[in-house]
Amino acid sequence: METTSSSTSALSRRHSICPASRSARPVPLLDRSYWVTRHLFVTASVELPSWVSAVAAWIMVAKRRSWIGFIAVCDNEWEIRRMGRRDIVVALCDTSTCLEWVENFRTGLVPIDDDGNNSPKVECGFRSLYKTAVRDEPSLLSAVVEEVKKLTEQYAGQEISITLAGTAWGQR
């Protein structure tokens, strides 16, 4: 079930589920003021040493791409008036798969930008999860930028806020 269709009912938009080709993940938004416009995924790119298959074979079959969060927008007119703006939320969950944990152990600092000139530095594992794309699936960075840009264009002329929320995000 796609969540971006204008024909999608309000209830299903607020209790959004990923398309069947991905891991189904219900997102109940209890106050019903927000609706999910996009689900977010990360891709682990870390290569494990061959000896891991002898010690923990189950890690070798782990999925490289996993659900990590969603983007939602406030569509409740009363709430928008109360806040004085339309809010866009980027919600990210913490580490959930073995490969994400392995990425987290890559703690060396690297520039966040590809050019590296005077760029802030982040942990290597975080950068990998944030910027790795696979086949026709965008990186987390590309997905967030694309969806936020689409929403800010859709609500151009309105006061907009962007809220970043997550659990253990600083540990990545």
Helices and strands, counts by H and E, the chain = 7, 8
Cα dist from 150 to 35, 38, 76, 155, whole Å: 15, 11, 19, 9
Q: Look at residue 134 in the predicted model and tell me its pLDDT.
A: 83
What distance in Å separates the CA atoms of residue 122 and residue 14, rounded to the nearest whole number? 34
Percent of the chain with pLDDT over 90: 28
Distance CA 71, CA 66 (A): 16
Q: What is the mean pLDDT of the chain?
A: 76
Distance CA 114, CA 135 (A): 20
Rounded to two decimals, what is the model's pTM? 0.72
Measured in Å, how far apart are the chain's first and last C-alpha atoms?
30
- Nearest CA among 12, 50, 49 for reference residue 32: 12
pLDDT at 136: 83
Q: Which domains does the chain have, with CATH numbers?
A: 10-171 (3.40.50.1820)
Each residue of 5-34: pLDDT tens digit? 333 333 344 444 333 334 435 565 666 788
Nearest to 98 by CA among 128, 60, 126: 60
pLDDT of residue 97: 73
